[in-house]
């Protein structure tokens, strides 16, 4: 294998990395690719690893399209340049840096600290792995202008990532996201990056922040007296080799829970995630070991967090005493139901409170908020948009809680991202509250549905890889817009929301209304029978996503299984009618 099979542009890009301003180990690895592996060389150098609206994410290795010292350095230099433009009068710009359990976690965290400190920016660097939401908390606690967490969430082990935050503790949003991207793209050479670490500007932080964070989490408790009665509730928790290993059990204990069982094999932070195929709590297999432990100790509740501990999946016992997994919408329903009930019971609802959900999350959250006399806000998918609502309403209205169907939730406003540490504590408190009423979390669902109707949701991802796949997905969205269905599964389409043009079409009244959200390539179809179908291309993967939500009146808790099956069949009918089966 030689240069003859490699595109000349790829060779030229790779040869830049053979120069002396790159370290010897990098040069040797690049030369090895040139000599032996044209396919890998092409993939590593055919483009630059894109600094997107959330930061960087990619496979680790040498090359312009990989996560390595140089791509991270250039991204950090771009962020530093933007900070200096935005805060020219500030005597000391500062940032916080955290990292999860992934391979090269401390290396990339220290690379970020090197470049920021070399640019005269004060760095608060965590002494060991920490959850992503604690990074958000630390930004606000220290009064930083930005923050970075090294994480690739639940991606496979060969990936790492770099997620950037702004001074409010939320992920970068417009205009900062696009402006930082512009600054990163301006950097044409590694020689423009300052790598000379300034130790005087780097402060190592750790346990003191943990204590403050846990104390704030504990202050969220709405039923301490119930937890005292139910403190022996048996909880199995697994961090799936990630950052929740320390803070989730500590926070649960701070709440008052005493019977917390770990899964020892998964308590070990390990970026290879050796006990699971994927460290994703949305996938049932990721909870297998925890459920086995729960059966062994006769636990009431199972909780699993992803590697950076911002999302949580749970399993509960059903009416047959079997463990079943709740999906993200069901967990959000139970959690928000509890929060609203307790806020009302505790006399905390004054008419100035609100919850937030994303447009693809269950509409039952809206129904519950309206019933409780609480405002609700819809946002685009992505928790950064929920954080934006919190920022805009800060000091004006009181945030109760919010969430999204993809297993991310938040209670309280001292963190500005989804927070699995908080969520685990509040879910456990909800379980204690239910137990006080002689109910399990599973039995809460039919009780809620009796009050608000039975909602059932399902996500379907249709994968279309490569250039042809991207074109097919684009055409599918164009077709839906050019010729929207008049009915789906024998139910009339009564409303269409097109977020690309920010317009809502009421087909019943033949009116149009503006949607006050940023433009996004999302379509929603609302049906006469209460169903909602949302369609959007994934922003990070070669797939188009369909979110199905169906609803039916419910008046007999004993017919829960029957109604559940009936709604599953309705979703199957929608899928078949759309030609997706």
Report the candidate in 369, 235, 254 with the shortest Cα–Cα distance to residue 302. 235
Yes or no: say if 549 and 532 are a contact pair by the CB < 8 Å rule: yes
Give the torsion sign (CA, 86, 87, 88, 94). negative
User: What contacts 245, CB < 8 A, 6 or more positions away?
Assistant: 239, 267, 269
List the catalytic residue out of 94, 101, 153, 251.
153
Yes or no: say if 203 and 124 are a contact pair by the CB < 8 Å rule: yes
The Cβ of residue 581 has, within 10 Å, a number of other Cβ atoms equal to 10
User: What contacts 46, CB < 8 A, 6 or more positions away?
Assistant: 7, 10, 65
520 in catalytic set: no
- Residue 242 CA to residue 150 CA, distance in Å, equals 12
User: What contacts 478, CB < 8 A, 6 or more positions away?
Assistant: none
Which uninterrupted H or E stretch holds 261?
A: strand 259-262
| Phi-psi label, residue 264: left if phi above 0, alpha if psi -120 to 50, beta otherwise | alpha
- How far is CA 134 from each of CA 111, 232, 510, rounded to the nearest angstrom? 20, 28, 48
The Cβ of residue 174 has, within 10 Å, a number of other Cβ atoms equal to 11
End-to-end CA separation in angstroms for the chain: 44
- Residue 361 CA to residue 133 CA, distance in Å, equals 21
Given the DSSP bridges, would you call strands 532-537 and 523-527 parallel, antiparallel or unpaired? antiparallel
- Residue 417 CA to residue 308 CA, distance in Å, equals 12
- How far is CA 244 from each of CA 66, 147, 233, 303, rounded to the nearest angstrom? 27, 19, 20, 11
User: What contacts 289, CB < 8 A, 6 or more positions away?
Assistant: 238, 263, 265, 266, 275
User: What contacts 9, CB < 8 A, 6 or more positions away?
Assistant: none
Please provide the DSSP assignment of 100-114 as one string.
-SSTTHHHHHHHHHH
Structure tokens belonging to residue 429: 């408190």
User: What backbone torsions phi and psi does residue 526 show, to the nearest 5 degrees?
Assistant: -105, 130
- How far is CA 189 from each of CA 8, 29, 57, 367, rounded to the nearest angstrom? 20, 20, 20, 54
- Residue 131 CA to residue 410 CA, distance in Å, equals 14
How large is the C-alpha radius of gyration of the chain? 25
Give the residue numbers marked as catalytic.
153
């Amino acid at each position: 294998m030689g240069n003859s099979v490699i595109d000349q542009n790829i060779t030229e890009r790779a040869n830049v990395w053979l120069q002396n301003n790159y370290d010897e180990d990098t040069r040797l690895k690049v030369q090895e690719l040139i000599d032996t592996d044209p396919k890998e060389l092409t993939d590593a150098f055919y483009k630059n690893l894109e600094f997107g609206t959330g930061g960087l994410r990619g496979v680790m290795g040498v090359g312009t399209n990989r996560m390595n010292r140089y791509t991270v350095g250039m991204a950090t230099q771009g962020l530093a340049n933007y900070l200096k433009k935005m805060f020219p009068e500030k005597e000391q710009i500062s940032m916080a840096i955290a990292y999860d359990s992934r391979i090269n976690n401390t290396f990339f965290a220290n690379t970020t600290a090197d470049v920021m400190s070399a640019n005269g920016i004060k760095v608060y660097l965590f002494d060991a792995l920490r959850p992503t939401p604690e990074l958000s908390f630390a930004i606000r606690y220290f009064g930083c202008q930005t923050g970075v967490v090294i994480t690739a969430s639940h991606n496979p082990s060969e990936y790492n990532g770099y997620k950037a935050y702004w001074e409010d503790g939320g992920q970068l949003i417009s205009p900062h996201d696009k402006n930082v991207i512009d600054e990163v793209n301006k950097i044409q050479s590694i020689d423009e990056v300052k790598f000379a670490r300034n130790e005087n500007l780097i402060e190592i932080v750790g346990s003191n922040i943990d204590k403050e964070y846990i104390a704030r989490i504990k202050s969220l408790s709405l039923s301490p007296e119930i937890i005292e009665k139910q403190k022996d509730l048996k909880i199995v928790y697994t961090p799936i080799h990630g950052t929740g290993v320390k803070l989730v059990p500590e926070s649960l204990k701070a709440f008052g829970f005493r019977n917390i069982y770990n899964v020892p094999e998964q308590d070990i932070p390990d970026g290879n995630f050796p006990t699971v195929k994927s460290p994703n709590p949305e996938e049932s297999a990721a909870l297998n070991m925890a459920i086995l432990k729960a059966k062994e100790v006769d636990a009431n509740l199972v909780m699993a967090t992803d590697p950076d501990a911002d999302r949580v999946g749970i399993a509960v016992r059903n009416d047959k005493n079997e463990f079943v997994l709740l999906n993200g919408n069901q967990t959000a329903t139970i959690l928000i139901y509890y929060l609203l009930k307790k806020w009302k019971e505790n006399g905390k609802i004054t008419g100035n409170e609100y919850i937030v959900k994303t447009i693809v999350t269950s509409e039952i959250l809206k129904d519950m908020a309206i019933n409780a006399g609480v405002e609700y806000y819809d946002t685009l998918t992505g928790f950064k948009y929920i954080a934006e609502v919190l920022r805009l309403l800060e000091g004006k209205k009181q945030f109760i809680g919010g969430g999204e169907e993809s297993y991310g939730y938040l209670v309280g406003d001292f963190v500005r991202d989804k927070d699995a540490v908080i969520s685990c504590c509040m879910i456990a408190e909800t379980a204690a509250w239910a137990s006080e009423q002689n109910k399990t979390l599973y039995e809460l669902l039919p009780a809620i549905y009796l009050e608000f109707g039975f909602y059932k949701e399902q996500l379907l991802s249709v994968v279309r890889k490569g250039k042809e796949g991207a074109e097919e997905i684009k055409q599918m969205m164009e077709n839906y817009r050019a010729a929207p269905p008049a009915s789906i599964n024998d139910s009339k389409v009564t409303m269409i929301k097109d977020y690309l043009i920010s317009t809502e079409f009421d087909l019943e009244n033949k009116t149009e209304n503006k949607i006050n959200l940023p433009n996004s390539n999302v379509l929603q179809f609302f049906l006469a029978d209460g169903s909602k179908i949302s369609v959007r291309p994934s922003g990070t993967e070669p797939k188009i996503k369909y979110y199905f939500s169906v609803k039916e009146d419910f008046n007999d808790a004993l017919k829960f299984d029957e109604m559940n099956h009936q709604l599953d069949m309705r979703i199957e009918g929608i899928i078949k009618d759309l030609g997706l089966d």
